[in-house]
Every structure is written in structure tokens, then in C-alpha cells.
Amino acid sequence: MVGTRQQLDPLTRATSTIAWVIFANKPFYPIYVWYLIGTGVRECLLTLISAPFFLAIPFVARRSPLVARIMLPTIGTLDTLFETKLFGTASGTELFFSACVMLAALSFKAEEKWWQRGMVAFSFGAFLLSRNWIVAPLYGWSEVELSVLFKLNAYAVASLLAFIALRYAGVERDVGSDQFDRD
């Protein structure tokens, strides 16, 4: 029916909320770096490249909830991989892979377990790739600057993980499903 909005399931609503929060926080990262470090701000603006992709998730959710729930950990993983290359492994950006794995673990219904497993494997594979492929950052950060970035990123990851846990708390995933399915 034209003009009516599809009611989203609880998992997709949680996914949309998290995508909005990430999108809303993206513009602040270069400001934090400018305030805390004072250099590399222009390079930090590259972190905004992923913002439109996070913004697209709530809109995609209206048409395809599963695709939206796949998009969030996928975009997060690719964004984390890019930012790890931009800032280097010593910056702590790799910690965001933990949020991607957590999103993959929480965002799917029981009948979507193969999507869930695939997304976890994808995020973990990207982490392994970053550990073995990313040698030097695109921008030459000093040891002091990398220390500040690590602290900033560790705080941001802990905050994001806490928000994800709180947002998914009590969300029903598997009403009426077999909890002991071992496939």
C-alpha cells in the first residue's frame, strides 16, 4: 500500500539504530584527531567515505531487512580494513573488527545462521588480512600520535560495543525455534 511504512522486525530496527549512530558519529572523528593531535586531519577526512554507506542501511532495511542486516557488519568490516590501512595497526583501528564480529553474532535469526557464520568469518578474515597485509599506514604518524590514536580508538570501540550490547539487549531473535540446533 502506498504511503504506509513496513514495520521492521526487532533485529532490523536494532541494525538501523546502530547504523544511524555510526553515521552520526563519523563527522566527529576528524575533529577529535584535530583536537587531540593537531595533524593528519586532512587524511582523517577520508574516514567519511563510508558515511553514505552507513546512512543507506536504514533505507535499505525498509525493502530488505536481511540485506540491511548483512550490510552493517560488511560495511563496518570494510571501513575498519580501510581505516587500519590509513592509520596503521598501531592506531588501534583493528579493535573495530570486534564490533563487526559482535554485530554479525547478534543481527541474525536462527534460520539465517549461515549468513551469520559467513559474516563472522568475513570479519575475522579481514582482521587476519589486516594483520598480515597492512605494514605501514598511509600517513606517517609519530609514536606519540599513534598512542593517542590507540587510546581514542579503544575508547570508541568500547563505547560502540557497549551501545551494541544495550541496543540488542532483550531483542527477540528466535521465537519458537529449536535452541539446540547443531547444524
pLDDT in tens, the chain (183 residues): 444 456 888 999 999 999 999 999 999 999 999 999 988 888 889 999 999 999 999 999 999 999 999 999 999 999 999 999 999 899 999 999 999 999 999 999 989 999 999 999 999 999 999 988 877 777 888 899 999 999 999 999 999 999 999 999 988 776 544 444 445
Q: Domain for residue 179, yes or no?
A: no
Does 182 map to a domain?
A: no
Residue 4 lies in a domain: no
- Grid coordinates representing 165 are 550490547
Say if 180 falls within a structural domain: no
Which domain covers residue 107, as residue numbers?
10-168
| Residue 104, in any domain of the structure | yes
183 found inside a domain: no
Start-end of H helices in the chain: 10-25, 28-36, 41-44, 51-63, 65-87, 96-106, 113-133, 143-168
Please check whether residue 173 lies inside any domain of the structure.
no
Is there a domain that residue 174 lies in? no
Q: What is the DSSP letter of 139?
A: S
